[in-house]
Amino acid sequence: MSQAWADHLDLLIRARTPILWIRSQEEERIANLLAEAAKRLDQRSLARWDYISGLKGWAGRDGEAARNPLAALESLSALPAEQPALLVLHDFHRYADDSSICRKLRNLASSLRQRPQTLVITAAEWQLPRELEECITLLDLPLPNQQEIQTLLGNIAQASGQAMGAELLEQLTHSCSGLSEQRIRQVAARGLASRGQLGSADLDEVLEEKRQAIARSELLEYCPTEATPADIGGLDALKRWLEQRHMAFSDEARRYGLPLPRGVLLVGPQGTGKSLTAKAIAHSWSMPLLRLDVGRLFAGLVGASEARTRDMIQRAEAMAPCVLWIDEIDKGFGSADGRSDGGTSQRVLASLLTWMAEKSSAVFVVATANGVEKLPAELLRKGRFDEIFLLDLPDAQERRTILDLQLRRRRPIHQIPLDVVVDRTQGFSGAELEQVVIEAMHQAFSESREFGEADLSSAAAQLVPLSRTAREQLEQLQQWASSGRARPASTHCGG
């Protein structure tokens, strides 16, 4: 644990903070950290309680208060007033709605300020009753840092009788970054059980552990992808920018003084390649792609949305280095005015933006939006993303490239001239050009023949592009970007 966190914990205990809530699921790790704190602070006595086992740790009182939460609180009151002590309560948040327990906690919050005794409640999430908000001090337990992970892995390897080399230990330490101590122990146990030692094969085990953690989440989706920048027609300026940002993830960039890249906002009409770009970034950078369903952040219970946001951030950081894809962010936060949902959307957005601005993890955020008219101003402010790009409708050269890519993907040896089709598809998006090719193939296949230029032209004539049906919105978006608020993803000037 970082020295700053340990010092803060010691300070809270020495200052006679009556009730601490340590927010984490790692009960054993909390117990070990509190045991170390108890030794540092005048050899305070330490006991743990849970509903099934009761008290454990105080001589002569093991099993006391089993299945009796109120008696667990009374056990602390029964100690001599001058005896320094810590009492850890597991899952106690489940009983705080009981009026007698709530009252007892409030009484303890007052009396313990005069005694060298601290009550510690462990819970991953807890919607505090209003009566207890001023009585309880929250302390978040961060995931193990690099030094803790390295020490843990080194100790496990040494205990197995198979010490690891420095290079392998460093690789595994970086790979395990973002996992809880319990998960790291599970990965190590599997490696020892299957191979008798920790080795490079455990790197795959770590990645699988992270994938399972994402699979258990209702918020994030792990998206395998084979897309590459070569699958994207045009967007040359965006591609060059992304190459530069990829280089900034290296250790050499840190030594040069560059910060880790934060992310990019891709704005543009539907079908211009925003989602494909997110997939291509992840694949070409050899990073996992995590897709965030923004709608699921907004749960029904008060306070649950903020808790889900914290959980999402922790899970994303556990997969670092990774790409976090926030698809159609304008739909999720487009109405974040706080009036219709009691301010929940504003708080969630504020938490997300604060994390994006201050994060030190290698999580590259790729947010996509079809329009900007509904996006909150604070999301578009400089510094939230490394850059904002407009993915406009493709020009003539880009349309030729996209059509050629689509044709070669489906008919690798095609020899179809494209000049006429390119001219007749002005204002078409990349997705609409793909549909032109597919429709032309359907027409020819139904007649048992090879398709050609005439089929493509016919298919293009039947499709009404979005640039015609939503012309005003597109013009507003182009005008907004041209005012200097976004960079063009392509270097073309029209056509």
At residue 294, the pLDDT reads 84
Same domain, 450 and 376: no
- CATH code of the domain containing 258: 3.40.50.300
Same domain, 73 and 32: yes
On whether residue 156 sits in a domain, the answer given is yes
On whether residue 327 sits in a domain, the answer given is yes
Residue in the block written with tokens 């894809």: 325
Domain of 182 in residue numbering reads as 146-213
On whether residue 495 sits in a domain, the answer given is no
Coil, helix or strand at residue 153: helix
pTM to 2 decimal places: 0.74
Q: Give the pLDDT band of residue 166 (cuts 50, 70, 90).
A: confident
User: Which of 140, 170, 195 corresponds to the end of one domain?
Assistant: 140
pLDDT in tens, 30-48: 999 999 999 999 889 999 9
At residue 196, the pLDDT reads 85
Same domain, 151 and 132: no
CA nearest neighbour of 379 among 358, 349, 339: 349
At residue 84, the pLDDT reads 96
Same domain, 202 and 265: no
Coil, helix or strand at residue 16: coil
Same domain, 94 and 126: yes
- How far, in Å, CA of 110 to CA of 381, rounded? 45
Same domain, 287 and 337: yes
Same domain, 345 and 386: yes
Kindly state the average pLDDT of the residues 134-161. Answer: 90
Please answer whether residues 263 and 364 qualify as being in contact, where contact means their C-beta atoms are separated by less than 8 angstroms: yes
At residue 495, the pLDDT reads 47
CA nearest neighbour of 432 among 455, 453, 461: 461
Please answer whether residues 363 and 324 qualify as being in contact, where contact means their C-beta atoms are separated by less than 8 angstroms: yes
Q: Give the pLDDT band of residue 469 (cuts 50, 70, 90).
A: confident
At residue 412, the pLDDT reads 81
Question: Using H for helix, E for strand and C for coil, what is the string for 273-316?
Answer: CHHHHHHHHHHHCCCCEEEECHHHHCCCCCCHHHHHHHHHHHHH
pLDDT beyond 70 at 303 = no
Two structure tokens written together for 429:
């998006």
Coil, helix or strand at residue 84: coil
At residue 42, the pLDDT reads 84
Kindly state the average pLDDT of the residues 434-458. Answer: 93
On whether residue 223 sits in a domain, the answer given is no
On whether residue 473 sits in a domain, the answer given is no
In DSSP notation, 362-424 reads -EEEEEEES-STTS-HHHHSTTSSSEEEE-----HHHHHHHHHHHHHHHSTT-----HHHHHH
pLDDT in tens, 362-407: 999 999 998 888 788 888 887 789 999 999 999 999 999 999 999 9
Same domain, 370 and 233: yes
pLDDT beyond 80 at 111 = yes
How many Cβ atoms sit within 10 Å of the Cβ of residue 381? 11
Beta bridge mates, 326 = 292, 367
Instruction: Find which of 43-52, 191-200, 353-362, 478-487 is predicted with most confidence, using mean pLDDT.
Output: 43-52
Same domain, 260 and 280: yes
In DSSP notation, 210-277 reads HHHHHHT-SSEEE------GGGS-S-HHHHHHHHHHHHTTSHHHHHHTPPPP-EEEEE-STTSSHHHH
The number of domains in the chain is 4
pLDDT beyond 60 at 156 = yes
> Is pLDDT larger for residue 67 or for residue 288?
67
CA atoms within 13 A on the CB side of 159: 10
Kindly state the average pLDDT of the residues 251-260. Answer: 90
pLDDT beyond 50 at 494 = no
Same domain, 27 and 128: yes
Same domain, 233 and 381: yes
> To the nearest whole number, what is the mean pLDDT of the chain?
89
